A and B are shown apart, each in its own frame.
Chain A
Protein backbone atom coordinates (compact mmCIF):
# COMPACT_ATOMS: atom_id res chain seq x y z
CA UNK A 1 0.00 0.00 0.00
CA UNK A 2 1.37 3.37 -1.06
CA UNK A 3 0.50 6.30 1.18
CA UNK A 4 1.68 9.88 0.90
CA UNK A 5 3.23 11.71 3.82
CA UNK A 6 -0.03 13.65 4.21
CA UNK A 7 -2.07 10.43 4.31
CA UNK A 8 0.27 9.02 6.93
CA UNK A 9 0.04 12.20 8.96
CA UNK A 10 -3.73 11.78 9.10
CA UNK A 11 -3.43 8.15 10.15
CA UNK A 12 -0.89 8.71 12.92
CA UNK A 13 -3.41 8.84 15.81
CA UNK A 14 -4.62 5.37 14.86
CA UNK A 15 -1.11 4.16 14.19
CA UNK A 16 -0.49 5.10 17.80
CA UNK A 17 -3.59 3.36 19.20
CA UNK A 18 -2.85 0.27 17.12
CA UNK A 19 -6.11 0.05 15.21
CA UNK A 20 -4.86 0.51 11.63
CA UNK A 21 -5.12 -2.38 9.22
CA UNK A 22 -1.94 -4.36 8.72
CA UNK A 23 -1.35 -2.75 5.32
CA UNK A 24 -1.85 0.77 6.67
CA UNK A 25 0.35 0.03 9.65
CA UNK A 26 3.10 -1.17 7.35
CA UNK A 27 2.85 1.84 5.03
CA UNK A 28 2.94 4.34 7.91
CA UNK A 29 5.93 2.56 9.48
CA UNK A 30 7.85 2.82 6.23
CA UNK A 31 7.06 6.54 5.86
CA UNK A 32 8.00 7.19 9.47
CA UNK A 33 11.52 5.94 8.90
CA UNK A 34 12.05 8.57 6.22
CA UNK A 35 10.06 11.59 7.43
CA UNK A 36 11.16 13.83 10.29
CA UNK A 37 7.80 15.64 10.07
CA UNK A 38 6.00 12.40 10.79
CA UNK A 39 8.40 11.55 13.58
CA UNK A 40 7.83 14.92 15.25
CA UNK A 41 4.07 14.54 14.89
CA UNK A 42 4.21 11.09 16.42
CA UNK A 43 6.18 12.41 19.40
CA UNK A 44 3.56 15.09 20.05
CA UNK A 45 0.68 12.65 19.72
CA UNK A 46 2.39 10.19 22.05
CA UNK A 47 2.77 12.89 24.71
CA UNK A 48 -0.80 13.92 24.15
CA UNK A 49 -2.03 10.37 24.58
CA UNK A 50 0.05 9.78 27.68
CA UNK A 51 -1.00 12.96 29.42
CA UNK A 52 -4.69 13.15 28.73
CA UNK A 53 -6.40 13.12 32.11
CA UNK A 54 -7.93 9.79 33.01
CA UNK A 55 -11.70 9.45 32.95
CA UNK A 56 -13.96 8.27 35.72
CA UNK A 57 -14.77 4.79 34.50
CA UNK A 58 -17.59 3.63 36.74
CA UNK A 59 -21.26 4.32 36.45
CA UNK A 60 -22.15 5.40 39.99
CA UNK A 61 -25.80 4.33 39.81
CA UNK A 62 -25.37 0.93 38.21
CA UNK A 63 -27.49 -1.09 40.66
CA UNK A 64 -30.23 1.47 40.99
CA UNK A 65 -30.13 1.98 37.26
CA UNK A 66 -30.73 -1.71 36.63
CA UNK A 67 -33.67 -1.75 39.06
CA UNK A 68 -35.22 1.15 37.23
CA UNK A 69 -34.67 -0.45 33.83
CA UNK A 70 -35.99 -3.79 35.05
CA UNK A 71 -39.17 -2.16 36.28
CA UNK A 72 -39.56 -0.40 32.96
CA UNK A 73 -39.07 -3.66 31.06
CA UNK A 74 -41.68 -5.41 33.18
CA UNK A 75 -44.15 -2.56 32.80
CA UNK A 76 -43.69 -2.67 29.06
CA UNK A 77 -44.21 -6.43 28.96
CA UNK A 78 -47.33 -6.18 31.12
CA UNK A 79 -48.66 -3.46 28.87
CA UNK A 80 -48.03 -5.65 25.84
CA UNK A 81 -49.92 -8.53 27.43
CA UNK A 82 -52.92 -6.52 28.62
CA UNK A 83 -53.21 -3.99 25.79
CA UNK A 84 -55.67 -4.85 23.07
CA UNK A 85 -53.98 -5.48 19.82
CA UNK A 86 -54.18 -2.75 17.24
CA UNK A 87 -56.90 -3.05 14.68
CA UNK A 88 -54.47 -4.16 12.02
CA UNK A 89 -53.18 -6.97 14.21
CA UNK A 90 -56.51 -7.95 15.74
CA UNK A 91 -58.29 -8.73 12.51
CA UNK A 92 -56.41 -11.36 10.64
CA UNK A 93 -56.84 -11.41 6.92
CA UNK A 94 -59.45 -14.01 6.03
CA UNK A 95 -60.51 -15.47 2.77
CA UNK A 96 -63.83 -14.51 1.24
CA UNK A 97 -65.31 -17.98 1.96
CA UNK A 98 -64.73 -17.64 5.69
CA UNK A 99 -67.92 -15.74 6.56
CA UNK A 100 -70.52 -18.02 4.89
CA UNK A 101 -68.76 -21.14 6.19
CA UNK A 102 -68.76 -19.73 9.73
CA UNK A 103 -72.51 -18.96 9.48
CA UNK A 104 -73.23 -22.47 8.20
CA UNK A 105 -71.18 -24.05 10.98
CA UNK A 106 -72.98 -21.98 13.61
CA UNK A 107 -76.35 -23.05 12.18
CA UNK A 108 -75.41 -26.75 12.24
CA UNK A 109 -74.15 -26.47 15.81
CA UNK A 110 -77.36 -24.73 16.89
CA UNK A 111 -79.51 -27.48 15.36
CA UNK A 112 -77.43 -30.21 17.02
CA UNK A 113 -77.60 -28.52 20.43
CA UNK A 114 -81.36 -28.08 20.03
CA UNK A 115 -81.90 -31.75 19.17
CA UNK A 116 -79.71 -32.85 22.07
CA UNK A 117 -81.65 -30.66 24.50
CA UNK A 118 -85.00 -31.97 23.31
CA UNK A 119 -83.79 -35.52 23.76
CA UNK A 120 -82.65 -34.91 27.34
CA UNK A 121 -85.82 -33.07 28.29
CA UNK A 122 -87.84 -36.24 27.87
CA UNK A 123 -86.97 -37.65 31.28
CA UNK A 124 -84.97 -35.12 33.18
CA UNK A 125 -83.51 -31.62 33.08
CA UNK A 126 -80.09 -30.36 33.93
CA UNK A 127 -79.89 -27.50 36.35
CA UNK A 128 -76.73 -25.50 36.39
CA UNK A 129 -76.03 -24.22 39.86
CA UNK A 130 -74.00 -21.09 40.52
CA UNK A 131 -71.15 -23.32 41.61
CA UNK A 132 -71.01 -24.54 38.03
CA UNK A 133 -71.87 -28.17 38.83
CA UNK A 134 -74.85 -29.47 36.82
CA UNK A 135 -77.46 -31.39 38.83
CA UNK A 136 -79.84 -33.80 37.19
CA UNK A 137 -83.42 -33.26 38.32
CA UNK A 138 -86.24 -35.47 37.03
CA UNK A 139 -89.52 -33.90 35.86
CA UNK A 140 -91.33 -34.90 39.06
CA UNK A 141 -88.55 -33.62 41.28
CA UNK A 142 -87.61 -30.19 42.62
CA UNK A 143 -84.43 -28.64 43.88
CA UNK A 144 -84.26 -26.57 47.03
CA UNK A 145 -81.63 -24.30 48.40
CA UNK A 146 -81.25 -24.41 52.16
CA UNK A 147 -79.27 -22.69 54.81
CA UNK A 148 -79.11 -24.44 58.19
CA UNK A 149 -78.17 -23.07 61.57
CA UNK A 150 -74.58 -23.55 62.74
CA UNK A 151 -75.58 -25.68 65.73
CA UNK A 152 -77.67 -28.14 63.68
CA UNK A 153 -76.56 -31.72 64.38
CA UNK A 154 -76.12 -34.35 61.70
CA UNK A 155 -78.98 -36.30 63.31
CA UNK A 156 -81.36 -33.34 62.89
CA UNK A 157 -80.25 -32.81 59.29
CA UNK A 158 -80.62 -36.51 58.55
CA UNK A 159 -84.10 -36.53 60.08
CA UNK A 160 -85.09 -33.52 57.98
CA UNK A 161 -83.91 -35.20 54.76
CA UNK A 162 -85.71 -38.45 55.67
CA UNK A 163 -88.97 -36.59 56.34
CA UNK A 164 -88.86 -35.18 52.83
CA UNK A 165 -87.52 -38.35 51.19
CA UNK A 166 -84.88 -35.93 49.89
CA UNK A 167 -81.26 -36.41 49.06
CA UNK A 168 -78.42 -34.00 49.49
CA UNK A 169 -77.05 -33.19 46.05
CA UNK A 170 -74.58 -30.47 46.86
CA UNK A 171 -73.08 -28.50 49.70
CA UNK A 172 -72.46 -27.07 52.08
CA UNK A 173 -70.93 -24.25 50.01
CA UNK A 174 -68.50 -21.62 51.29
CA UNK A 175 -71.45 -19.57 52.48
CA UNK A 176 -73.19 -22.56 54.08
CA UNK A 177 -75.80 -23.37 51.41
CA UNK A 178 -76.88 -26.91 50.65
CA UNK A 179 -79.04 -28.21 47.82
CA UNK A 180 -81.55 -30.98 48.28
CA UNK A 181 -83.61 -32.84 45.69
CA UNK A 182 -87.08 -34.12 46.50
CA UNK A 183 -90.46 -35.06 45.00
CA UNK A 184 -93.92 -34.13 46.30
CA UNK A 185 -95.37 -37.35 44.84
CA UNK A 186 -96.90 -39.37 47.68
CA UNK A 187 -95.19 -37.16 50.24
CA UNK A 188 -96.76 -36.39 53.59
CA UNK A 189 -95.36 -34.17 56.31
CA UNK A 190 -96.53 -34.31 59.94
CA UNK A 191 -99.41 -36.57 58.82
CA UNK A 192 -100.66 -34.22 56.10
CA UNK A 193 -100.44 -34.87 52.37
CA UNK A 194 -98.22 -32.47 50.43
CA UNK A 195 -99.67 -31.14 47.21
CA UNK A 196 -97.17 -28.50 46.12
CA UNK A 197 -93.61 -27.30 46.56
CA UNK A 198 -94.93 -24.37 48.58
CA UNK A 199 -96.17 -26.83 51.23
CA UNK A 200 -92.66 -28.16 51.55
CA UNK A 201 -91.21 -24.65 51.78
CA UNK A 202 -93.71 -23.70 54.48
CA UNK A 203 -92.90 -26.83 56.44
CA UNK A 204 -89.13 -26.23 56.16
CA UNK A 205 -89.47 -22.62 57.32
CA UNK A 206 -91.16 -23.90 60.45
CA UNK A 207 -88.18 -26.10 61.34
CA UNK A 208 -85.85 -24.67 63.99
CA UNK A 209 -82.64 -25.66 62.22
CA UNK A 210 -83.65 -24.03 58.87
CA UNK A 211 -82.57 -20.42 58.45
CA UNK A 212 -83.28 -19.95 54.77
CA UNK A 213 -85.09 -21.87 52.08
CA UNK A 214 -85.68 -21.14 48.41
CA UNK A 215 -86.74 -23.12 45.38
CA UNK A 216 -84.16 -23.31 42.61
CA UNK A 217 -85.71 -22.17 39.33
Chain B
Protein backbone atom coordinates (compact mmCIF):
# COMPACT_ATOMS: atom_id res chain seq x y z
CA UNK B 1 0.00 0.00 0.00
CA UNK B 2 1.31 3.41 -0.95
CA UNK B 3 0.48 5.57 2.04
CA UNK B 4 1.07 8.81 0.19
CA UNK B 5 -1.54 7.80 -2.41
CA UNK B 6 -3.91 6.99 0.42
CA UNK B 7 -3.32 10.26 2.20
CA UNK B 8 -3.96 12.11 -1.06
CA UNK B 9 -7.24 10.29 -1.42
CA UNK B 10 -8.17 11.13 2.16
CA UNK B 11 -7.56 14.81 1.41
CA UNK B 12 -9.67 14.52 -1.72
CA UNK B 13 -12.49 13.18 0.44
CA UNK B 14 -12.16 16.48 2.35
CA UNK B 15 -12.52 18.27 -1.04
CA UNK B 16 -8.91 19.48 -1.06
CA UNK B 17 -8.21 20.78 -4.57
CA UNK B 18 -4.41 20.73 -4.15
CA UNK B 19 -4.57 17.04 -3.30
CA UNK B 20 -6.76 16.48 -6.34
CA UNK B 21 -4.23 18.25 -8.53
CA UNK B 22 -1.40 16.08 -7.19
CA UNK B 23 -3.50 12.96 -7.64
CA UNK B 24 -4.33 14.01 -11.19
CA UNK B 25 -0.70 14.52 -12.16
CA UNK B 26 0.29 11.25 -10.53
CA UNK B 27 -2.32 9.06 -12.19
CA UNK B 28 -3.53 10.75 -15.37
CA UNK B 29 -0.93 9.00 -17.55
CA UNK B 30 -1.92 5.61 -16.20
CA UNK B 31 -5.60 6.30 -16.81
CA UNK B 32 -4.92 7.77 -20.24
CA UNK B 33 -2.78 4.84 -21.36
CA UNK B 34 -5.30 2.34 -20.06
CA UNK B 35 -8.23 4.11 -21.72
CA UNK B 36 -6.34 4.46 -24.98
CA UNK B 37 -5.96 0.70 -25.21
CA UNK B 38 -9.69 0.27 -25.30
CA UNK B 39 -10.62 3.36 -27.27
CA UNK B 40 -7.72 3.80 -29.70
CA UNK B 41 -8.59 7.50 -29.98
CA UNK B 42 -6.41 9.97 -28.01
CA UNK B 43 -9.33 12.44 -27.86
CA UNK B 44 -11.66 9.83 -26.38
CA UNK B 45 -8.96 8.66 -23.98
CA UNK B 46 -8.44 12.24 -22.76
CA UNK B 47 -12.20 12.52 -22.26
CA UNK B 48 -12.14 9.37 -20.16
CA UNK B 49 -9.28 10.79 -18.05
CA UNK B 50 -11.47 13.79 -17.26
CA UNK B 51 -14.50 11.63 -16.43
CA UNK B 52 -12.49 9.26 -14.26
CA UNK B 53 -10.86 12.09 -12.31
CA UNK B 54 -14.23 13.78 -11.83
CA UNK B 55 -15.53 10.49 -10.45
CA UNK B 56 -12.55 10.36 -8.07
CA UNK B 57 -13.35 13.89 -6.89
CA UNK B 58 -17.00 13.04 -6.31
CA UNK B 59 -16.66 9.53 -4.96
CA UNK B 60 -13.29 9.29 -3.24
CA UNK B 61 -15.18 8.37 -0.07
CA UNK B 62 -16.45 5.18 -1.71
CA UNK B 63 -12.95 3.74 -2.06
CA UNK B 64 -12.69 0.62 0.05
CA UNK B 65 -9.23 -0.48 1.01
CA UNK B 66 -9.88 -4.00 -0.23
CA UNK B 67 -7.85 -3.26 -3.34
CA UNK B 68 -5.10 -0.84 -4.29
CA UNK B 69 -5.89 2.67 -5.49
CA UNK B 70 -4.42 1.72 -8.86
CA UNK B 71 -6.80 -1.23 -9.23
CA UNK B 72 -9.76 0.92 -8.18
CA UNK B 73 -8.78 3.60 -10.67
CA UNK B 74 -8.29 1.12 -13.50
CA UNK B 75 -11.65 -0.42 -12.77
CA UNK B 76 -13.35 2.98 -13.09
CA UNK B 77 -11.35 3.64 -16.27
CA UNK B 78 -12.32 0.31 -17.77
CA UNK B 79 -16.02 0.88 -17.20
CA UNK B 80 -15.91 4.48 -18.46
CA UNK B 81 -14.01 3.40 -21.58
CA UNK B 82 -16.42 0.58 -22.33
CA UNK B 83 -19.38 2.95 -21.83
CA UNK B 84 -17.87 5.46 -24.25
CA UNK B 85 -17.13 2.73 -26.74
CA UNK B 86 -20.71 1.49 -26.56
CA UNK B 87 -21.99 4.99 -27.15
CA UNK B 88 -19.84 5.59 -30.20
CA UNK B 89 -19.54 2.25 -31.91
CA UNK B 90 -21.59 -0.88 -31.86
CA UNK B 91 -18.98 -3.54 -31.40
CA UNK B 92 -19.51 -7.12 -32.28
CA UNK B 93 -18.78 -9.04 -29.14
CA UNK B 94 -16.90 -12.20 -29.52
CA UNK B 95 -17.63 -14.58 -26.73
CA UNK B 96 -14.89 -16.62 -25.17
CA UNK B 97 -16.60 -19.71 -26.52
CA UNK B 98 -16.44 -18.37 -30.07
CA UNK B 99 -12.75 -17.77 -29.64
CA UNK B 100 -12.14 -21.09 -27.99
CA UNK B 101 -10.84 -22.62 -31.15
CA UNK B 102 -7.64 -21.02 -32.26
CA UNK B 103 -5.32 -22.89 -34.53
CA UNK B 104 -2.08 -23.86 -32.84
CA UNK B 105 1.00 -22.43 -34.47
CA UNK B 106 2.43 -24.83 -37.00
CA UNK B 107 5.97 -23.47 -37.05
CA UNK B 108 8.81 -25.47 -35.62
CA UNK B 109 9.75 -24.28 -32.16
CA UNK B 110 12.93 -22.49 -33.18
CA UNK B 111 11.13 -20.62 -35.96
CA UNK B 112 8.32 -19.74 -33.60
CA UNK B 113 10.75 -18.32 -31.10
CA UNK B 114 12.36 -16.28 -33.84
CA UNK B 115 8.94 -15.02 -34.90
CA UNK B 116 7.95 -14.02 -31.36
CA UNK B 117 11.24 -12.18 -31.00
CA UNK B 118 10.23 -9.84 -33.81
CA UNK B 119 8.74 -6.76 -32.16
CA UNK B 120 7.24 -5.55 -35.41
CA UNK B 121 5.22 -8.74 -35.82
CA UNK B 122 4.11 -8.70 -32.23
CA UNK B 123 2.97 -5.11 -32.44
CA UNK B 124 0.96 -5.85 -35.54
CA UNK B 125 -0.53 -9.03 -34.09
CA UNK B 126 -1.45 -7.38 -30.80
CA UNK B 127 -3.61 -5.02 -32.83
CA UNK B 128 -5.52 -7.92 -34.35
CA UNK B 129 -6.66 -9.26 -30.98
CA UNK B 130 -10.15 -8.51 -29.74
CA UNK B 131 -10.20 -5.71 -27.12
CA UNK B 132 -11.06 -8.24 -24.39
CA UNK B 133 -8.03 -10.39 -25.19
CA UNK B 134 -5.66 -7.52 -25.82
CA UNK B 135 -6.41 -5.80 -22.52
CA UNK B 136 -5.67 -8.95 -20.51
CA UNK B 137 -2.28 -9.28 -22.20
CA UNK B 138 -1.54 -5.62 -21.60
CA UNK B 139 -2.62 -5.70 -17.99
CA UNK B 140 -0.50 -8.77 -17.33
CA UNK B 141 2.66 -7.78 -19.14
CA UNK B 142 2.59 -3.97 -19.17
CA UNK B 143 0.89 -3.22 -15.89
CA UNK B 144 2.10 -6.34 -14.09
CA UNK B 145 -1.25 -6.90 -12.44
CA UNK B 146 -2.20 -10.15 -10.74
CA UNK B 147 -5.07 -12.19 -12.15
CA UNK B 148 -7.34 -11.38 -9.17
CA UNK B 149 -6.71 -7.68 -9.81
CA UNK B 150 -7.50 -8.04 -13.51
CA UNK B 151 -10.61 -9.98 -12.56
CA UNK B 152 -11.70 -7.12 -10.29
CA UNK B 153 -10.94 -4.41 -12.83
CA UNK B 154 -12.83 -6.13 -15.63
CA UNK B 155 -15.57 -7.47 -13.35
CA UNK B 156 -15.18 -10.99 -14.75
CA UNK B 157 -14.37 -14.26 -12.96
CA UNK B 158 -10.70 -15.17 -12.51
CA UNK B 159 -11.27 -18.24 -14.72
CA UNK B 160 -12.28 -15.97 -17.59
CA UNK B 161 -9.10 -13.94 -17.19
CA UNK B 162 -7.01 -17.12 -17.42
CA UNK B 163 -8.94 -18.37 -20.44
CA UNK B 164 -8.60 -15.05 -22.22
CA UNK B 165 -4.86 -14.86 -21.81
CA UNK B 166 -4.43 -18.43 -23.05
CA UNK B 167 -6.45 -17.66 -26.17
CA UNK B 168 -4.66 -14.37 -26.66
CA UNK B 169 -1.31 -16.09 -26.50
CA UNK B 170 -2.38 -18.74 -29.02
CA UNK B 171 -3.67 -16.09 -31.40
CA UNK B 172 -0.50 -14.07 -31.10
CA UNK B 173 1.67 -17.07 -31.81
CA UNK B 174 -0.45 -18.06 -34.80
CA UNK B 175 -0.32 -14.50 -36.11
CA UNK B 176 3.46 -14.00 -35.76
CA UNK B 177 4.06 -17.42 -37.35
CA UNK B 178 1.94 -16.47 -40.34
CA UNK B 179 3.74 -13.16 -40.76
CA UNK B 180 7.09 -14.86 -40.40
CA UNK B 181 6.21 -17.40 -43.09
CA UNK B 182 4.99 -14.69 -45.46
CA UNK B 183 8.26 -12.79 -45.22
CA UNK B 184 10.61 -15.75 -45.30
Do A and B form a real pair? yes
Which A residues form the contact surface with B (CB < 8 A)?
9-11, 13-14, 17-20, 40, 43-45, 47-53, 55-62, 65-66, 68-70, 72-73, 77
In the bound complex, how far is the Cα of B146 from the Cα of A135, in angstroms?
A: 79
Check A51–B29 contact: CB distance below 8 A: no
Which B residues form the contact surface with A (CB < 8 A)?
15, 17, 20-21, 24-25, 28-29, 31-33, 36, 42, 46, 49-50, 53-54, 57, 109, 112-113, 116-119, 122-123, 126, 137-138, 140-142, 144-147, 149, 162, 165-166, 169, 172-173
Check A47–B113 contact: CB distance below 8 A: yes
In the bound complex, how far is the Cα of B123 from the Cα of A56, in angstroms?
A: 13
Check A72–B54 contact: CB distance below 8 A: yes
**Chain B residues whose C-beta falls within 8 Å of the C-beta of A55 in the assembled complex:** 33, 138, 142
Asked if A17 meets B54 with Cβ closer than 8 Å, knowing A53-B126, A65-B46, the reply is: no
Asked if A18 meets B144 with Cβ closer than 8 Å, knowing A52-B122, A61-B46, A65-B49, the reply is: yes
Asked if A65 meets B144 with Cβ closer than 8 Å, knowing A45-B169, A52-B122, the reply is: no
Q: State how many angstroms separate the Cβ of A78 from the closest Cβ of chain B.
A: 13
In the bound complex, how far is the Cα of B25 from the Cα of A109, in angstroms?
A: 58
Q: Secondary structure at chain A's binding surface: helix, strand, loop or mixed?
A: helix
**Chain B residues whose C-beta falls within 8 Å of the C-beta of A13 in the assembled complex:** 140-141, 147, 165, 169
Q: Which residue of A lies closest to B166 (CB)?
A: A10
Q: Which residue of B lies closest to A40 (CB)?
A: B109
Q: Secondary structure at chain B's binding surface: helix, strand, loop or mixed?
A: helix
Most chain-A CB neighbours within 10 Å: which of B113, B140, B173? B140
Most chain-B CB neighbours within 10 Å: which of A11, A51, A58? A51
Asked if A58 meets B24 with Cβ closer than 8 Å, knowing A40-B109, A48-B116, A73-B57, the reply is: no
Give 16 new A-B contacts, CB below 8 A, not counting A45-B169, A48-B172: A11-B162, A13-B141, A44-B112, A44-B113, A47-B113, A47-B116, A48-B122, A50-B117, A51-B122, A52-B122, A55-B33, A57-B33, A68-B50, A72-B50, A73-B17, A77-B15
**Chain A residues whose C-beta falls within 8 Å of the C-beta of B36 in the assembled complex:** 56
